[in-house]
Amino acid sequence: MKKLLLQLIGFTSIFWLLCLSRFHSLWHAKPVKWSVYGLMLELIGVILLFIFGMPFRVPSGGAIFLVTGNINEGEIATNKLFLLVSYIGLIGVVCGTLCQVRAAYLSHAE
């Protein structure tokens, strides 16, 4: 599970770095490119949110099912990782929506 998670984070990070490295040319791109990039970001974000859940949830504090007084450090690390990935997914959805808005604005301005 952790290997799959790290691969998803890696692919998402590579995609965002490619988008940022081409930001100048993207800013002046046609609406179709903005729309495609927005849809890809939203797709990645929704998949991450579907797998890892929304970042706004009650933390378990390391307790597994029953509160026994013992804290599982592995569970705390997993919760932190899920929180990070779910925020990445949420940011992807927001950025994808902003790309879609930019595409609509550019297509309307033409």
User: What's the pLDDT tens digit per position in 5-29?
Assistant: 666 666 666 666 666 666 556 667 7
**Alpha-helix residue ranges (DSSP H) falling in 1-110:** 2-21, 23-27, 31-52, 73-109
- The dihedral of CA 14, 15, 19, 20: what is its sign? negative
CB-facing half-sphere around the CA of 72: CA atoms within 13 A: 14
What distance in Å separates the CA atoms of residue 92 and residue 97, rounded to the nearest whole number?
A: 8
The alpha carbon of residue 19 and the mean position of all alpha carbons in its chain are separated, in whole angstroms, by: 14
What pLDDT does 71 receive?
73
**Whether the predicted model's global pTM rises above the 0.75 cut:** no
Residue with tokens 């933390």: 59
Residue in 28, 5, 26, 6 with CA at minimum distance from that of residue 17: 26
pLDDT beneath 70, residues of the chain: 1-27, 57-69, 110
Place of tokens 């791109």: 29
